[in-house]
Structure 1
C-alpha cells in the first residue's frame, strides 16, 4: 500500500499487488483498512482508492470499503474507487453496491472531480449539512425517513390504496433504500405498520435492501402488525432473515446494540 496527497485535500491510496493474481480479499482487506483508518485519523477524509493493480475484489473487500465510506461520509468526506477491472465492477453489482460506492475509470478523473466538488463545498460545510439532514423527517414520495442516530434510520413505509405494497408502487421504496445506503445509512428500521398486504415484489425490494446494507456490515429490522404482512414473511421463510418487532422502540433498542458494536469494531 502507498498513498499520495493530491491537490485540494484529495489523497490517493494505491493498492499494489505483490503477485500477478493479487486480490482485495479477506487476506488483503485488513491491511488496506489499517492504512485508510490511519489516514482518516490524520484528517485525510477525501480518498481515492486506486484498484488498477488488483485483479479481483471479493465480498470482504467491498464490506471493508463500505465501512470506510460510512466513516468519511458523516465527517464530510468522500471515498471513490478508481480503475477497478471488469471482475471488480461485476462483484460490485452482485453485492448491490453499484449505486452506493462511487467508481471512476481513472485516478486522474476521480481526483479532478473530487477537487472540483470540494472547491464548491468544503468538508466542514458538508459535515454540517449532513448532520442537519440527519435530524429531519424527510419525505420521499409516499414514504418518509428519519435518522434516529448516527447509525440508525427509520423508514416509514406507506402502502398504496388500499394499503398494499407491491409491483405497482414499490419502485420508490427501492430507490429510497438505495439512496439511504449511498448516504452511508446502513442500519435501517422499516416500519410496515401502515402496510396491510405485501406481495412477492415488495418482499423482493426489502430483501434487496438487506443485501445492500449487509455489504456495509449493516442490518435491516422490520416493524409490522398486519397479519397478512406477517404471514408473507413467515411462508417465505424470511422471519429467519429479518428480526420483526411489534413497535419501533423495540426495534431501535435491539438494532442500536448491534450498531454500537459495529461502531466499536471500526
Structure 2
C-alpha cells in the first residue's frame, strides 16, 4: 500500500512524502494530492521519494503531470531522494533532465 503524507512548510510550499510503490494504482492518488494542494494555494511542491521502493511509467507520468499542474499555477515541483530503482527510471526516460533530483527534501527550494 502506498501513502502520501503532506508536510506544510510555508504558505506556498509543501512536501509530499511518498511511501511504497509509485505505480498505476498509486499514480492517480498522487495526482489528486497535488491538485488539492495547488487548489489550496501551495504552488511549490516537493515530492520526497526516499520511501518509494518502486516506480513504473504510471508513476513517472504522475510526476510529469504534477509538474505541469504546479507550473500552470505559477509554481514548481521538485523531487528529492530517489532510490536506485527510481533514479534509474528517471535517467532511462531522461526525465531527470526536467525534474532534477535533489539529495533531500530540505534542499530543494533553498534558492
TM-score, normalised to structure 1's length? 0.40
TM-score, normalised to structure 2's length? 0.91
The alpha carbon displacement at 1:171 in A equals: 2.1
Q: Does 1:226 align with 2:83?
A: yes
The match for 1:185 is 42
In 2: Cα distance, 1:241 partner to 1:154 partner: 19
For 1:76-115, what aligned pairs fall within 5 Å after superposition? none
Change (3 A) 1:235 1:188: same
Which structure: larger Rg?
1
- Paired residue total: 110
Query: Which residue of the other structure, out of 41, 47, 52, is the alignment partner of 1:195?
Result: 52
The match for 1:168 is 25
Retained in 1: the 8 A contact 2:80–2:101?
A: yes
Which structure has greater helix proportion? 1
The alpha carbon displacement at 1:224 in A equals: 2.1
* SS of residue matched to 2:108: helix
Q: Does 1:152 align with 2:9?
A: no
The alpha carbon displacement at 1:246 in A equals: 1.1
* SS of residue matched to 2:10: coil
Query: Which residue of the other structure, out of 99, 103, 106, is the alignment partner of 1:242?
Result: 99
The alpha carbon displacement at 1:146 in A equals: 1.4
Structure with more contact order per residue of length (Cα contacts < 8 Å, sep ≥ 6): 2
Q: Which runs of 4+ in 1 moved over 4 A?
A: none
* SS of residue matched to 2:109: helix
| Alignment gaps of 5+ in structure 1 | 1-140, 258-266
1:49-104 CA-to-partner distances (Å, cap 9, x unmatched) read xxxxxxxxxxxxxxxxxxxxxxxxxxxxxxxxxxxxxxxxxxxxxxxxxxxxxxxx
In 2: Cα distance, 1:243 partner to 1:217 partner: 18
The alpha carbon displacement at 1:170 in A equals: 2.2
Retained in 1: the 8 A contact 2:19–2:49?
A: yes
For 1:54-93, what aligned pairs fall within 5 Å after superposition? none
